[in-house]
Chain A
Amino acid sequence: MVKTSDSVEPSSVDTARIQLPYWLAGLLRHRLSVIGGSFILFVAFLAVFAPLLTGFEPTEVDPPNRFLRPSFEHLLGTDYLGRDQFTRLIYGARISMVVGIFSVVIASFIGVPLGLTAAHFGGWTDSAIMRFIDAKLSIPGLILAMMLLLMLGGGVLTVSIALGINLSSAQARLIRSQALSVKEREYFHAARAMGTSNWRLILLHMMPNSIQPVIVQASLGVGFAILGEASLSFLGLGVTPPTPTWGNMLSLAFQYMRSAPYLLFAPGVAILLLVMSFSFVGDGLRDVLDPRLKGKI
């Protein structure tokens, strides 16, 4: 509780405005989070300003210049159709970032209401929801995503939905277990005793006090989703080919591994670094938000 005193603005009424400085300050003291966060911002910058940072189009074919080695003109070389690898990488970052974040948002929008409903109503409702989630967990994630993609077709939105459904189970279980402990707190009893509606109980008492681990899990989940998108694209099921993604770049490079091994390097390292960055930030958030670790960071 020592750390919170500097972040308090007595005049402000908004919760978010008060908490932001506190955990942001904590994150900024967490070295790995700063490294991870900077890399994420860097990738986001490349993705947003991609058209300004390169003179090529990501789908611009130039057959005479295929399999060029990295040079000043083509920073990371060209692929089997003569497309500039660097251009494709930064355009591909758009897909990875969007899919990564979108999947987690979808996962939270599915998982959080399910988990809160299960925890609040308990009994039969709880059993039904949780057994459904357990059943879903028994199907391997990638296979479930593949099934969905075969039914819905590839694309940024469908990939995000498929990965989001996968990640939603973890979110649901996580928030349910937190919410169950909130349910035993006296402020929750007090609210119930004064006749507060279920709706308000869940939204105002249960959710704000059990959401923290979900936020941590979400930032870790972005990394999983990026990896998932890459795996699906690698298998040819993700975003449809002319659009560059890190996954399908890797998949193509894999076919020419002997003649142009350098093509594997860029998308592979990009995926590795971005996934790592998100998990660093996730770890940092967990440390900062965990009240038991407060003051130790």
Chain B
Amino acid sequence: MSMTTSTRSVLDIRDLQVHFPVNRGVLFIKNKGAVKAVDGVNLSIAPGETVGLVGESGSGKTTVGRAIIGLVKPTGGVIEFEGNNVLEMNSAALRQFRRQVGVVFQDPYGSLNPRMTAERIISEPLVAHHLFNSKQERRARVQELLEIVGLNAGMASRYPHEFSGGQRQRIGIARAIASDPTLIILDEPVSALDVSIQAQIINLLDELQDRLQIAYLFIAHDLSVVRHASDRVAVMYLGKLMEVAPRDAVYDNPLHPYTKALLSAVPVPDPEIEKKRERTILTGDIPSPTNPPSGCVFRTRCPIADEACAESIPELREVTPGQHVACLKV
């Protein structure tokens, strides 16, 4: 299934599955099924595009990101990077792939090694990929990167604890762009930051994208954060994609009941509109991914579900141009 009209995408994920086996017992280990963290996800990202991946905790959005960068091993499916399947790459190709894919993590405190200076943190990908081999060249590159992300080149010798949360996230971004990647996985890059700093970081990411032509997979649990940054938005629930659509379609004309529910959870800053608008409120929690509901995984919390939803699994299909929805009722 192709999500975009462009045939040359940076990243093309097809039927990605990440199942974690659940084992019980001490000496006699029994396999008690699997946690289907990601179950059949299709997604592609065009060069220079930002795809927002949203969902509540436990939806598997972070696992998708981790599978792409190789931190978890997918149990099925294909991850194609510039036409080559990452899962079948030899070590040389894998090195090349890692050079071209950056990652920014959520926690600006945990994602930087506390025992390294900013300079060493940022030059790590350069060392790993043998770029800028002389010390002077590397130092010059680090200073350039620091300035690109809005920090002072003189801060290179400081340790992470000497920076604020926003500054640390800028260091994380400098590290991610150091090896000139074509794709960056942003794993909730602003969730741990103050709101005022969130905007600064998102603007920085925007600016970098314009300048360096990097594609982003922007993972977030907050639709309002993704709205500003994304070209397209994918909504995930219990390991499956519910709706994938251009940004404006998602925000102005959401079709999937889950997307509608997520949007009505975002407060509207105007009290008049806020009072009048119709809200879909979800009750209960996300079901356990060990034992997901039959048929449509969302049916247990869906306001419009009926018997048919328990029986067949809805596939993503194009409902309006570019807008793909996995729902039997749409």
Contact yes or no, A18 B159, CB < 8 A: yes
Determine the chain B residues whose CB is within 8 A of the CB of A196 once the complex forms.
124, 127-128
CA distance A213 to B55 in the complex (A): 40
CA distance A197 to B127 in the complex (A): 10
Most A-side CB within 10 Å, residue of B113, B175, B179: B113
Contact yes or no, B103 A185, CB < 8 A: no
Given contacts A186-B105, A194-B128, A194-B179, contact A12 B162 (CB under 8 A): no
Contact pick for B128, options A1, A189, A195, CB 8 Å: A195
Task: Name the distance in Å between B207's Cβ and chain A's nearest Cβ.
Answer: 22
Task: Name the distance in Å between B214's Cβ and chain A's nearest Cβ.
Answer: 15
Determine the chain B residues whose CB is within 8 A of the CB of A209 once the complex forms.
113-115
Task: Name the distance in Å between A20's Cβ and chain B's nearest Cβ.
Answer: 14
CA distance A4 to B162 in the complex (A): 10
Contact yes or no, B95 A195, CB < 8 A: yes
| B residues 88-119 touching A (CB-CB < 8 Å) | 94-95, 98-99, 101-103, 105-107, 110-117, 119
Determine the chain A residues whose CB is within 8 A of the CB of B103 once the complex forms.
190, 193-194
Task: Name the distance in Å between B180's Cβ and chain A's nearest Cβ.
Answer: 12
Determine the chain A residues whose CB is within 8 A of the CB of B114 once the complex forms.
187, 209
Determine the chain B residues whose CB is within 8 A of the CB of A12 once the complex forms.
157
Contact yes or no, A10 B105, CB < 8 A: no
Contact yes or no, A194 B162, CB < 8 A: no
Q: Main SS of chain A's interface residues?
A: helix
Map CB proximity to A onto B68-105 as digits: 1 under 8 Å, 0 otherwise. 01110000000000000000000000110011011101
Contact yes or no, B105 A195, CB < 8 A: no
Contact yes or no, B95 A189, CB < 8 A: no
B113 — nearest CB in chain A belongs to which residue? A187
CA distance A8 to B98 in the complex (A): 34
Contact yes or no, A186 B117, CB < 8 A: no
Contact yes or no, A185 B110, CB < 8 A: yes
Interface: B329 (CB within 8 A) = no
Interface: A205 (CB within 8 A) = yes
| A residues 1-53 touching B (CB-CB < 8 Å) | 1, 4, 8, 10-13, 15, 18
Interface: A192 (CB within 8 A) = yes
| B residues 109-151 touching A (CB-CB < 8 Å) | 110-117, 119, 124-125, 127-129
Contact yes or no, B129 A195, CB < 8 A: yes
Contact yes or no, A189 B157, CB < 8 A: no
Interface: B8 (CB within 8 A) = no
CA distance A64 to B95 in the complex (A): 80
Map CB proximity to A onto B155-175 as digits: 1 under 8 Å, 0 otherwise. 001110110000000001001
Interface: A131 (CB within 8 A) = no
Contact yes or no, A197 B162, CB < 8 A: no
Given contacts A193-B103, A195-B129, contact A205 B98 (CB under 8 A): no
Task: Name the distance in Å between B8's Cβ and chain A's nearest Cβ.
Answer: 24
Contact yes or no, A186 B71, CB < 8 A: no
A-B contact pairs, 15 of them (CB 8 A): A10-B162, A15-B115, A187-B111, A187-B112, A189-B66, A189-B111, A190-B103, A193-B70, A194-B103, A194-B128, A195-B95, A195-B99, A200-B127, A205-B113, A209-B115
* B residues neighboring A (CB under 8 Å): 66, 69-71, 94-95, 98-99, 101-103, 105-107, 110-117, 119, 124-125, 127-129, 157-159, 161-162, 172, 175, 179
Q: A187-B114, A195-B98 are in contact. List 9 more A-B contacts (CB 8 A).
A: A1-B161, A8-B159, A13-B157, A186-B111, A189-B71, A193-B70, A193-B71, A195-B125, A209-B113
